Amino acid sequence: MKRYNYKAKEKETGKIVKGSVQAETESIAGRLLIDQGYIPQTVTEEGTGLLSGMNRVTTKDRIMFTRQLSTLIGAGLPLAVSLRTVAEQTQSKAMKNVVEEILASVESGKTLFDSFSQYPDLFNGVYLALIKAGEVSGTLDLALKRLADQEEKDAAMMSKIRGALVYPAIILVVIIAVLAFMMIMVVPQVKGLYEDMGEELPELTQLLVGISDFFGNFWWLVLIIVAATVGGLWYAVKKTPTGRHIADNFKLHVPIFGGLFRKLYVSRFARTAEMMLATGVPMLESVKIAVNATNNVIVEEEYSKALEPIKGGKPLSESLKDKNYMLPLVPQMASIGEESGKIDEMLGKAAQVYENELDEQINSISTMIEPILMVIMAGLIGVVIGGTLLPIYSLVNSVAV
């Protein structure tokens, strides 16, 4: 069911009222309002319009919802009561609407898994599989707790990776700003000075003047090219299989960051498999879901090669051996887990090892990038200064002579 915002007039009093109503379609929402004694003026689906992007469920909202629902179910409250309580406590309007619709679905007789499945963009395959396993095994509260814990870890890891890129991004902005200032304000003055003196510009200065003139005359063309390039790349990566394939392959082989991404995908695989197996999901299904959780098509294609051996009865440790982008600790720990009967715990320990290494690597990358960018900035600014200030000194010396 969808939620529609409406503006309507009361038949008896003529008073204008605003609110929202749940219905399958806009026309059904209108009929519901008429049955309630209103004359609909506008009925629009929530989440459409210019501000729809501001009214969406964030990762933080989903984690908080999952944690609260786990706590309430674990305390012994019925599912419907737990959902209603969470809906009342939720601050996010978008999340509140989703919870209310899930509650309505559950109260109509559907399972929680079916109710969550109505929102595939919000609840991914890992989330739904754990919900289904939790319902079947009667450990829904534990499944939800594992989900909340894992989503918090994923969010923290991605935050660290983004944080490692913030400082380099700031340095790049400073470099561009300084270069733009020199090219716009200083280079044209040097050109004018040489023209007034009747002297010929040095070759380096001529190059800088040409670049400055081009950007000054064709800045609009530069903006169009940049916007078209960025838009085209975004569309190719997000909307086309080939673009996604190229982008994911680039992540695995890009200098400095390639190793970081490989550890990230391995830790996601191991952590997801741990959660699935601990909740009672069968091995083959657990591995399928863990493969998809890596969120990289190249890695998914390679890890999926382990599914056929598992179907044939081979243990997970043997099936994962010699797979590209699979780091050796995971099959080793899986083998220990198979022997001890604690494969989920062993996979969790392997994931923890790579998560710890990721933390250290992110910190070291941040430290390493800083001097590299400083050298690049010094070199570029040095070229501009060499093409502007040095010619001025030459002119001054020639006049003095």
**pLDDT of 53:** 44
| Residue type (1 letter), 367 | T
**Taking the domains of the chain in order of start, what are their residue ranges?**
2-54, 59-123, 149-401
* C-beta of residue 316 within 8 angstroms of C-beta of residue 287: yes
**For 86-128, what is each residue's pLDDT tens digit?**
988 888 888 888 898 888 888 888 888 888 988 887 888 888 8
Identical fold, 59-123 and 149-401: yes
**For 137-147, what is each residue's pLDDT tens digit?**
888 888 888 88
Topology given in CATH for the domain delimited by 149-401: Receptor-associated Protein (1.20.81)
**pLDDT of 58:** 86
Q: Report the 10 Å Cβ neighbour count for 198.
A: 6
By DSSP bridging, strand 16-23 and strand 38-45 are unpaired
Query: Would the pLDDT of 20 be above 70?
Result: yes
Please report where in the chains the tokens 């506008």 appear, as a residue.
Answer: 42
State the pLDDT confidence band at 210, using cuts at 50, 70 and 90: confident
**For 237-269, what is each residue's pLDDT tens digit?**
888 889 999 999 999 998 878 888 899 899 989
What CATH architecture applies to the domain 59-123?
Up-down Bundle (1.20)
CA gap 185, 192 in Å, rounded: 12
CA gap 212, 210 in Å, rounded: 5
Burial grade of 193 (CB within 10 A; 0-12, 13-18, 19 or more): middle
253: CB partners within 8 A, 6+ apart:
none
| Residue type (1 letter), 94 | A
47: left (phi over 0), alpha (psi -120 to 50) or beta: left
Residues 56, 62, 65: CA angle, nearest 5 degrees: 120
**For 291-346, what is each residue's pLDDT tens digit?**
988 889 999 999 999 999 999 989 999 999 888 899 999 999 999 999 998 999 99
Mean pLDDT of the chain: 83
State the pLDDT confidence band at 50, using cuts at 50, 70 and 90: very low
Query: Would the pLDDT of 48 be above 70?
Result: no
